[in-house]
Amino acid sequence: MATVLLLIIYAVFIGLGIPDSSFGPAWPAIFPDFNVPVSFANFVEMTVSLATVTASFFSAKVINKFGTGLVVAFSTFLSCFAILGLALAPSFWFMILLAIPLGLGAGAIDAALNNYVATHYKPMHMSFLHCFYGVGVSLSPLLMSFALMDNNDWRLGFRIIFYIMLVILITAIIALPLWKKTAKADGEVKAEEKPVTLPIKKMVKSRAVRLSWLMFFSTCALEFTCGWWGSTFLVKSEGVTESLAARFITFYYLGMTAGRFVSGLISGKLDQRKIVTIGYSITGVAIAILFLPIPPAFKGVALFLIGLGNGPTFPNMIYLTPIFFGKRVSGSIVGTQLACCNLGIMLMPPLFGLLAEVSATIFPYFLTACFILMVISTVLYVKKAKNTPPFEI
């Protein structure tokens, strides 16, 4: 029964990834139709990010009240509703409104399933969970590209994505009784073991929690800056063609997915901290390669290695949260950690975009700054968390 539920969780996580990469590929066809500047995409992306941060921040309270299964099903419905709305949107301003349920749904699903897998399954399943997110992220641009081949029909692309999301929604609804059956199979939870909502004041006072926020902020800043701006760096600074640069970024995402898959395979032999350390070593070497006066193809390979090395960081560090702080409060802490992830996504890639107006050659330096912040905060976080007493509830 737990295995069937895990498969459903994987399917929902594919659905989490699909909307995340659907808007960007469609935007070149959207903004001429609505007669708005190309830069207006930022309004949609920022609205999605703000809604995601909000949902992540309050996720523990909602999940503890309504249960993981119901939150996942309703959040998937919000994503479905938003995607269908994008397909039918009569104007650009409707897209901004639809970005709110899209972000709220994504933030709630992310927090709910990350904490559930971290507290109920082995570490390999956490890494595999994020592999399936990679499947969703990779699938959406492919589907949209086929739709755009038909007279730039971006609405068709969103409709196709909606149908896939609808299947996932139906699956999530059908699976609702399975959450209860799985809970009963695990045995009745004692009152002193039930999850509680930890007040933000207590989390702010904990240095270990604050360091975890900084670590998650920096790892997502590195991940998304590389994904959003790696092709621009290759084109502007290395003279690579746009089509070849796009392929290298595809390899970057494949590297990330591969890193998480390998992490899952070796999680039974190495603990999470060793896996993350190996990943950091690969990432550090890969970033150093970007500084070298070598052919651009090797720098494209370096992007693959950055994805490979940094990919395991997120799932493995999330898995450590209930180990460090306890299962009762992990939901609250994971929610804030994911909020900090989304803050990193919302703030750092746009910051690099502003800096890149001067020169895209600063790309390796920006990644280095994110990497150093990530390494330092991780070392301090793990050291502090190991010695942090349980929260008083």
Give me the DSSP letters along 18-65. Answer: HHHTTHHHHHHHHHHHHT--GGGHHHHHHHHHHHHHHHHHHHHHHHHH
CATH 1.20.1250.20 boundaries in the chain: 2-185, 200-385
The whole-number average pLDDT for the span 319-333 is: 90
If you search the block for the tokens 């070598």, which residue do you land on?
294
> Can you give the pTM of this predicted structure?
0.85
What's the CA gap between 364 and 253, in Å, rounded? Answer: 18
Q: How buried is residue 180: exposed, middle or buried, by Cβ count under 10 Å (0-12/13-18/19+)? A: exposed
* Rounded to 5°, angle at Cα 162 from 160 and 167: 105
Task: Please report, rounded to a whole number, the percentage of residues in the chain having pLDDT higher than 70.
Answer: 96
Distance CA 226, CA 303 (A): 8
Q: What is the pLDDT of residue 193?
A: 62
Confidence grade of residue 383 (pLDDT, cut at 50, 70, 90) = very high
User: How confident is the model at residue 307, as a pLDDT?
Assistant: 92
Tell me which residue of 259, 256, 305, 27 sits closest to 141, measured CA to CA.
27
313 or 234, which is more confident: 313
Rounded to whole angstroms, the Cα distance separating 354 from 356 reads 5
Q: 69 or 186: which carries more pLDDT confidence?
A: 69
Q: Residue 297's pLDDT band (boundaries 50, 70, 90)?
A: confident
Is residue 371 pLDDT above 70, yes or no?
Answer: yes
The closest alpha carbon to 378, from 252, 214, 246, 221, belongs to 214
Helix (H) / strand (E) containing 260: helix 242-266
Burial of 37 (C-beta count, 10 Å sphere; 0-12/13-18/19+): exposed
Where do we find the tokens 């990779």? Answer: 138
With a cut of 90, say whether residue 336 has pLDDT above it. Answer: yes
Please choose, from the candidates 26, 181, 16, 132, the residue with its C-alpha nearest in 3D space to the C-alpha of residue 89.
26
> Which of the two residues, 299 and 235, has the higher pLDDT score?
299
CA 281 to chain centre: 22
pLDDT tens, residue by residue, 139-164? 887 888 888 887 888 999 999 999 99
Residue 199's φ and ψ, nearest 5 degrees, are: -60, 145
Q: Which residue has the higher pLDDT, 9 or 350?
A: 9
Is residue 89 very low, low, confident or very high in pLDDT (cuts 50, 70, 90)? very high
Q: What is the pLDDT of residue 276?
A: 95
Q: Which range in 47-51, 244-248, 286-290, 385-389 is most confidently predicted, on average pLDDT? A: 286-290
pLDDT at 142: 80
Q: Which CATH class is domain 2-185?
A: mainly alpha
Note whether 303 and 171 are within 8 A (CB). no
Contact criterion met (CB below 8 Å) for 82 and 19: yes
CA torsion 143-146-151-154 (nearest 10°) is: 10
Does 250 or 314 have the greater pLDDT score?
A: 314
Tell which residue, 191, 186, 178, 212, has the closest CA to residue 120.
186
Which helix or strand (DSSP H or E) is residue 192 part of? none
Q: What secondary structure does DSSP assign to 122-137, as a single string?
A: -HHHHHHHHHHHHHHH
Please give the pLDDT value at position 286.
96
Average pLDDT, integer, range 356-382: 93
What fold does the segment set 200-385 form as a domain? Growth Hormone; Chain: A; (1.20.1250)
CA 292 to CA 258: how far, in whole Å? 25
Q: Is the pLDDT of residue 187 over 60?
A: no
Averaged confidence pLDDT in the chain: 88
Tens of pLDDT, residue by residue over 272-281, are 999 999 999 9
Report pLDDT for 393: 61
8-12, 103-107, 195-199, 216-220: range with lowest mean pLDDT: 195-199
The confidence band for 291, taking pLDDT boundaries of 50, 70 and 90, is very high
